Amino acid sequence: MFKKERTLLLFIALLLCSILSSCKSYQVVPNGYTVEGDEYFINIDKNLAVFLGDDILKEENWNANTGPINANKVNAKYTKVLKHLNYLDTAYKVLFTGSLKGKYTYDMLAVMNNSPNVKGQKNHLLDLTTFQREENKEGRYFYSTTEFKGQKLLHFVIPFVDKLWQEKMVSMIFLLPADFNDINWAKDIVLSNAAMYRNRYVFTPSRTAIQCPDDGSRSHLDYKIPEEKINKTEYMLMKAYGNVDGKRTLVVYRLMKPKDFYGSFVVCKGDYEIIYTTLQDKIIWQTKINTEVDVVF
């Protein structure tokens, strides 16, 4: 009787291991974010920016308190896509997933390899010889077009570091309606990234857009985070929104390291909304500032 119970327990344990293994999801690279009003996804740990295209700027993608880009977890839908494309969950991590509305309604995800292939060992990265290759003065990338569960699947791989045994690659994957045929739209987004990575890429997690000439119309935007609100252990974001042509517009944003609490930037004279948030867009502190009034430090 004891032997039967032990066999049953062993069977249950093996079954649970099998279920947990099959449900295993891809890990996400920590410290990724997007900012409303900016066209880029940023990952601090990888010192990486990914250009997302103009659709990320559209208001309809930011109406539900949370933005369209998820840099925290990978749901089952995207896990199935990555397995379908032969991404090993031990070799790659996800940068982000997301659903956007614009010229098309589509899903987008990006992944990056954890490490390069190792000389003398079996390759763990995708075999790019099965992809179509495009290269011009702006950059180089590989791509394939297939279908997945009734949707058009566009799969691009962009070399970030292209040296043998040092490979770093960013993959951008688009899920679109089955009747989609405007591949040049996706290629434009991918080529912007290929060009950025190729031309002496410099990681700059910030934005400054000065909307007026240097004719006396400019001033300094000074801000200081209250002592009790300063995050002393984690990265944070400072965002400044102003009125440009009658529309609320992101004018400045800065990535703030732990313990950072103040800054000063050149902007057009006027009123601004300052927002201090986590990377996940949770507002910790906010205020309104007029550039003609000095901030007391």
Does 111 fall in a domain?
A: yes
Does 3 fall in a domain?
A: no
Does 12 fall in a domain?
A: no
Per-residue pLDDT, 24: 64
71 & 109 share domain: yes
Does 14 fall in a domain?
A: no
pLDDT digits (tens, 9 = 90+) for 17-37: 444 444 568 999 999 999 999
Contact between residue 165 and residue 158 where contact means Cβ atoms under 8 Å apart? no
Q: Which three-class secondary structure string do you get for the chain? A: CHHHHHHHHHHHHHHHHHHHHHHCCCCECCCEEECCCCCEEEECCCCEEEECCHHHHCHHHCCCCCCCEECCCCCHHHHHHHHHCCCCCCCEEEEEEEEEECCCEEEEEEEEECCCCCCCCCCCCCCHHHCEEEEECCEEEEEEEEEECCEEEEEEEEEEECCCCCCEEEEEEEEECCCCCCHHHHHHHHHHHHHHHHCCCCCCCEEECCCCCCCCCEEEEEEECCHHHCCCCCCEEEEEEEEECCEEEEEEEEEECCCCCEEEEEEECCEEEEEEECCCCCEEEEEEEECCCCCCC
Does 260 fall in a domain?
A: yes
192 & 210 share domain: no
223 & 193 share domain: no
Does 188 fall in a domain?
A: yes
Q: How far apart are alpha carbons 281 and 159 in whole angstroms? A: 30
Domain stops at, among 182, 198, 214: 198
* Residue 230's CATH number: 2.60.40
- Percent of the chain at pLDDT exceeding 70: 90
Domain stops at, among 165, 198, 231: 198
Per-residue pLDDT, 210: 86
Mean pLDDT of the chain: 90
pLDDT digits (tens, 9 = 90+) for 85-125: 999 999 999 999 999 999 999 999 999 999 989 888 889 99
Does 5 fall in a domain?
A: no
Q: Kindly give the pairing relationship between strand 283-290 and strand 247-256.
A: unpaired
Q: How many structural domains are present in the chain?
A: 2
* pLDDT for 45 beyond 80: yes
> Which residue range forms the structural domain that includes residue 180?
23-198
Does 297 fall in a domain?
A: no
Domain stops at, among 198, 222, 246: 198
pLDDT digits (tens, 9 = 90+) for 221-238: 999 999 999 999 999 999
